[in-house]
């Protein structure tokens, strides 16, 4: 009887989890009807899936030991979870789509080498500006910490993007 219960338990676990697919570097852990976890190249996401929608909704965790210096968050991701990039010492540049509406607390905590956070839009991407020593650096965009475009008068913590590709964090008084 004991062996039967153990076998039944293992079968129940096996049917609820579809393991890592070795050929595509993707894996799935099914949740409810609408959301399930998915890994893409080792990065963990929550995928939202209905009959009319199927997209990555939340970036849950970027591995601490992932050896990338630049990472582009996939289009249509809406949320970067609390502590998502926490502790990764290799990442230097993160490109965030304009679809991101929320970035959780401490999302980039411990990313000692992180130098640049770029906010981009796939629909109206900012065109590259050729720079030389005589070209004046110009402000090309202002975003709040959630990646939403703002104006200087809006106040709060803002990320300013410049034409030379640099960024600056400022605290504006409303």
**Does residue 145 have a pLDDT over 80?**
no
Confidence class of residue 1 from pLDDT cuts 50, 70 and 90?
low
Task: Give the chain's domain count.
Answer: 2
Kindly report the CATH number assigned to the domain that includes residue 80: 3.80.10.10
Q: Can you give the residue range of the structural domain that contains 69?
A: 17-123
Same domain, residue pair 46 and 82: yes
CB-based contact 27:39 (threshold 8 Å): yes
Residue of 45, 103, 27, 40 lying closest to 68 (CA atoms) = 40
Same domain, residue pair 31 and 83: yes
Place of tokens 């410049």: 162
The tens digit of pLDDT for each residue in 36-83 reads 788 888 899 888 777 677 777 899 999 999 999 999 999 888 889 999
User: What pLDDT is attached to residue 162?
Assistant: 76
User: What pLDDT is attached to residue 132?
Assistant: 52
Same domain, residue pair 98 and 154: no
- Calculate the dihedral angle through the C-alpha atoms of 66, 94, 56, 144, rounding to the nearest 10 degrees: 140
Helix, strand, or coil here: 42? coil
The tens digit of pLDDT for each residue in 73-109 reads 998 888 899 999 999 999 999 999 888 888 888 889 8
The answer to the question of residue 9 being in a domain is no
Same domain, residue pair 28 and 41: yes
User: What pLDDT is attached to residue 18?
Assistant: 40
Residue of 61, 25, 28 lying closest to 47 (CA atoms) = 28
Confidence class of residue 134 from pLDDT cuts 50, 70 and 90?
low
The answer to the question of residue 10 being in a domain is no
Helix, strand, or coil here: 72? strand
């Amino acid at each position: 009887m004991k062996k039967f219960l153990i076998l039944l338990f293992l079968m129940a676990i096996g049917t609820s989890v579809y393991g890592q697919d070795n050929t595509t570097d993707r894996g799935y852990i099914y949740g409810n009807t609408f959301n399930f976890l998915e890994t893409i190249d080792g990065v963990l996401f929550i995928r939202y899936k209905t009959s009319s929608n199927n997209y990555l909704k939340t970036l849950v965790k970027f591995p601490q030991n992932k050896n990338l210096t630049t990472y582009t968050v996939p289009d249509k991701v809406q949320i970067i979870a609390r502590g998502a990039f926490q502790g990764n010492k290799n990442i230097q540049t993160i490109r965030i789509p304009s679809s991101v509406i929320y970035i959780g607390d401490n999302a980039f905590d411990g990313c000692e080498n992180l130098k640049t956070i770029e906010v981009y839009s796939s629909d109206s991407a900012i065109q590259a500006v050729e720079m030389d020593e005589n070209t004046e650096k110009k402000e090309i965009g202002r975003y709040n910490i959630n990646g939403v475009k703002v104006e200087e008068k809006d106040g709060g913590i803002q990320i300013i993007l410049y034409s030379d590709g640099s960024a600056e964090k400022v605290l504006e008084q409303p």
